[in-house]
Homo-oligomer: A and B are copies of this chain.
């Protein structure tokens, strides 16, 4: 039996790995540990120090060695040294019995402490926030890094589990092969067990029957002949498995008649292409030969043009921007814009109610860790040549740190657009006036690869004070096997739940939602949210015009007044203002949120996935600042019931006028797949802006200098091109 051999082989490899890991952890080799951290020979296959590029292409510096990092800023992430200290505390806490660390990150000091802190001051006490599981219980702990003091927070009232660890995922992937039924059905479907990969998908939550154990639903693929096994689903098999015990709880085994789609034409890798490549002879490159105009001070403080912000990787959110401040040219002072901003939760419901598909309603940040799934970026192609990179230090499931290198890139962008321009008519002025200024921005990028899908997450800072937040979707569409090879075989009334993309492959309709947490602090923490309503007003005979559009401003008093559904024919602008600070002519200073293309969830509000991801009920929300309310889908999103969500917090209807408030924005995409998405999809993007509105006294980029020919780089084509 090939299946049995595969299983034996797999078990053997796993055992060797476990023994190796055990040896490394328990008998650390002080000489080699530095090298291992960087070379990822240690505790995680997800460590990606390979292929690191140098800090700056023109500098001859080595990759940064994180082993001796020390924190410089209250919001700097935990260092390797600090994590190791916390690790010891956790180990002793659980008395060396079985435990898993799901999250080990800095516990941010209280906001007022951070706001008071100045460079040169001693750092506030360093604390770790730890989410762990032991003996079937969730633990939320605060651990003093130096003191070792542990405070346990009661989370017994919150349903769900923390995101799965990478170890959880690796381990559970082998579970199906322990089932004789599973191995038999695979073989009966004509698939070689050596070419089967089962991927762990979160099960959502569909009622109390699913409570009490951590479950995962594995779906399996034929990996033969392609790196793009996603295009070769073994349709109808769902292996419901207990993550903690690795026990197969249920094996759904349907749709045997559906063939496995062929491998031919599915591989997207460069090495797999046989036909001619599309190549433009003269590459266009973003060039900046003397290096960038930004500096990253003390590893995390980014300073560029008129912006300054703290940037850190986070295993759950991915990129975390804090203390974003912009320089006011009029006063020479930096002004607060945003205390903290990050992607808080995702929701990706697939629109197929059948047994093998209904549960696919992913909450990627809370179920998998959005940052945890962000691997090393590919220099030159993920980010342009002038990019610099930032590493992350994350904790493995035993609590030990490892380095995720090149997780974030930072680069300046000039895309050929203007910051502003004007030509004056030569009819009016004596000589032609033609003034134009180049638009240059700073991009912070991370790419999370959630199994098949890739989310390119950009924060783009503009020198006019605008922050553009963009999500780009690419990667691979998850597909469903079908017996059809042509639409003429499909009965008109039959529902496919998607588009026939290729022989035997249906791209299933789905949505993507990304919710952003945006703790705006416009010139201070006490802010208000204003609905600037645009309404038709009738002139009632007082003008040759019948009507015009009038602006009516309303300050939201409580959270429910700030639950906003966007309406094209009943539009508003949405401003976060500081009612205590006005410009010289008396307008309150503010920022507005400017939506672009978005989508709203069409699921029933009482449908379990919609309740869990109820942050998609509105596009905009505003809540009263509460340090514990960060994750729009709940702290423990995995198998959560939806009682710890943005909707629930907002429904408390707390006062939000002239106080510390948080803006939440939900971006959405409906995705009806098309053949162009096969076998890998061209990038689609959407985003929104945070834009100054009467924040500055005047156009802050009026004095940007134009480009002049003799100041631009001197370039020649590469010899090889």
Per the 8 Å Cβ criterion, residues 591-622 of A in contact with B are: 594-600, 602-604, 606-610
- Within 8 Å CB of A386, what residues of B? 284
Given the interface contacts A433-B227, A706-B380, A711-B283, does A290 sit within 8 Å of B717 by beta carbon?
yes
A-B contact pairs, 18 of them (CB 8 A): A273-B703, A278-B306, A282-B289, A284-B412, A285-B414, A287-B287, A289-B715, A351-B550, A353-B543, A358-B543, A375-B434, A378-B706, A385-B707, A423-B447, A425-B449, A488-B586, A544-B608, A569-B600
Per the 8 Å Cβ criterion, residues 176-221 of A in contact with B are: 197, 199, 206-207
Task: Tell me how far the C-beta of A230 lies from the nearest C-beta in chain B, rounded to whole angstroms.
Answer: 9
Option from B282, B283, B548 in Cβ contact (under 8 Å) with A353: B548
Instruction: Decide if A606 touches B678 in the complex (CB within 8 Å).
Output: no
Task: Tell me how far the C-beta of A607 lies from the nearest C-beta in chain B, rounded to whole angstroms.
Answer: 4
Known A383-B416, A714-B717; 16 more pairs at CB < 8 Å = A173-B428, A285-B288, A285-B713, A286-B416, A381-B437, A382-B436, A418-B683, A420-B474, A420-B682, A420-B683, A421-B683, A464-B682, A545-B607, A545-B608, A568-B568, A715-B715
Q: Is A322 an interface residue (CB 8 A)?
A: no
Instruction: Decide if A227 touches B424 in the complex (CB within 8 Å).
Output: yes
Bound-state Cα–Cα, A463 to B280, Å: 11
Q: Is A48 an interface residue (CB 8 A)?
A: yes
Instruction: Decide if A277 touches B715 in the complex (CB within 8 Å).
Output: no
- Within 8 Å CB of A418, what residues of B? 381-382, 456, 472, 474, 683
- Within 8 Å CB of A708, what residues of B? 380
- Within 8 Å CB of A485, what residues of B? 585
Q: Is A352 an interface residue (CB 8 A)?
A: yes
Instruction: Decide if A545 touches B289 in the complex (CB within 8 Å).
Output: no
Task: Tell me how far the C-beta of A152 lies from the nearest C-beta in chain B, rounded to whole angstroms.
Answer: 32
Bound-state Cα–Cα, A709 to B282, Å: 13
Per the 8 Å Cβ criterion, residues 366-383 of A in contact with B are: 373, 375-376, 378, 380-383
Instruction: Decide if A604 touches B703 in the complex (CB within 8 Å).
Output: no
Instruction: Decide if A715 touches B714 in the complex (CB within 8 Å).
Output: yes
Given the interface contacts A289-B716, A387-B416, A710-B718, does A487 sit within 8 Å of B586 by beta carbon?
yes
Instruction: Decide if A706 touches B381 in the complex (CB within 8 Å).
Output: yes
**Which stretch, A81-89, A100-108, A497-505, touches the partner chain B?**
A497-505
Per assembly, the copies of the chain total: 2
Instruction: Decide if A680 touches B709 in the complex (CB within 8 Å).
Output: no
Q: Is A169 an interface residue (CB 8 A)?
A: yes
Instruction: Decide if A714 touches B718 in the complex (CB within 8 Å).
Output: yes
Instruction: Decide if B596 touches A571 in the complex (CB within 8 Å).
Output: no
Closest to A470 in B: B417
Bound-state Cα–Cα, A721 to B717, Å: 21
- Within 8 Å CB of A449, what residues of B? 422-425
- Within 8 Å CB of A197, what residues of B? 428
Q: Is A535 an interface residue (CB 8 A)?
A: yes
Q: Is A329 an interface residue (CB 8 A)?
A: yes
Given the interface contacts A416-B383, A548-B353, A705-B270, does A532 sit within 8 Å of B686 by beta carbon?
no
**Which stretch, A388-396, A649-657, A669-677, touches the partner chain B?**
A669-677
Instruction: Decide if B285 touches A432 in the complex (CB within 8 Å).
Output: no
Q: Is A411 an interface residue (CB 8 A)?
A: yes
Bound-state Cα–Cα, A610 to B548, Å: 10
Q: Is A119 an interface residue (CB 8 A)?
A: no
Q: Is A413 an interface residue (CB 8 A)?
A: yes
Bound-state Cα–Cα, A476 to B433, Å: 13
Instruction: Decide if B596 touches A435 in the complex (CB within 8 Å).
Output: no
Bound-state Cα–Cα, A398 to B499, Å: 58
Option from B284, B355, B538, B567 in Cβ contact (under 8 Å) with A604: B538
One digit per residue, 1 when the CB lies within 8 angstroms of any chain B CB and 0 when it does not, for chain A 551-580 equals 100000000000001111101010000000
Instruction: Decide if A694 touches B714 in the complex (CB within 8 Å).
Output: no
Q: Is A339 an interface residue (CB 8 A)?
A: no
Bound-state Cα–Cα, A39 to B610, Å: 66
Bound-state Cα–Cα, A280 to B420, Å: 17
One digit per residue, 1 when the CB lies within 8 angstroms of any chain B CB and 0 when it does not, for chain A 513-539 equals 000000000000000000010111011
- Within 8 Å CB of A699, what residues of B? 676-682
Instruction: Decide if B594 touches A597 in the complex (CB within 8 Å).
Output: yes
Bound-state Cα–Cα, A268 to B447, Å: 40
Instruction: Decide if A421 touches B454 in the complex (CB within 8 Å).
Output: yes
Instruction: Decide if B568 touches A599 in the complex (CB within 8 Å).
Output: yes
Q: Is A45 an interface residue (CB 8 A)?
A: yes
Shortest Cβ-Cβ A-B pairs, 8 listed:
A487-B586, A353-B543, A381-B436, A415-B415, A384-B416, A206-B544, A715-B715, A546-B607
Instruction: Decide if B675 touches A697 in the complex (CB within 8 Å).
Output: yes
Given the interface contacts A571-B599, A598-B568, A670-B571, does A414 sit within 8 Å of B353 by beta carbon?
no
Given the interface contacts A381-B437, A682-B419, does A692 sit within 8 Å of B711 by beta carbon?
no
Q: Is A62 an interface residue (CB 8 A)?
A: no
Q: Is A269 an interface residue (CB 8 A)?
A: yes
Instruction: Decide if A352 touches B286 in the complex (CB within 8 Å).
Output: no
Per the 8 Å Cβ criterion, residues 631-645 of A in contact with B are: none
Per the 8 Å Cβ criterion, residues 461-475 of A in contact with B are: 463-466, 472, 474-475
- Within 8 Å CB of A495, what residues of B? 550
- Within 8 Å CB of A440, what residues of B? 280, 284
Task: Tell me how far the C-beta of A554 lies from the nearest C-beta in chain B, rounded to whole angstroms.
Answer: 13
- Within 8 Å CB of A289, what residues of B? 282, 715-717
Q: Is A254 an interface residue (CB 8 A)?
A: no
Bound-state Cα–Cα, A474 to B435, Å: 11
Q: Is A122 an interface residue (CB 8 A)?
A: no
Q: Is A118 an interface residue (CB 8 A)?
A: no
- Within 8 Å CB of A568, what residues of B? 565-568, 598-600
- Within 8 Å CB of A454, what residues of B? 421-423
Instruction: Decide if B548 touches A351 in the complex (CB within 8 Å).
Output: yes
Q: Is A331 an interface residue (CB 8 A)?
A: no
Q: Is A276 an interface residue (CB 8 A)?
A: yes
Closest to A505 in B: B585
Task: Give the residue among A280, A355, A463 with the most B Cβ atoms within 10 A.
Answer: A280
Task: Give the residue among A429, A536, A675 with the most B Cβ atoms within 10 A.
Answer: A675
Q: Is A60 an interface residue (CB 8 A)?
A: no
- Within 8 Å CB of A173, what residues of B? 427-428
Given the interface contacts A306-B278, A436-B381, A705-B270, does A416 sit within 8 Å of B419 by beta carbon?
no
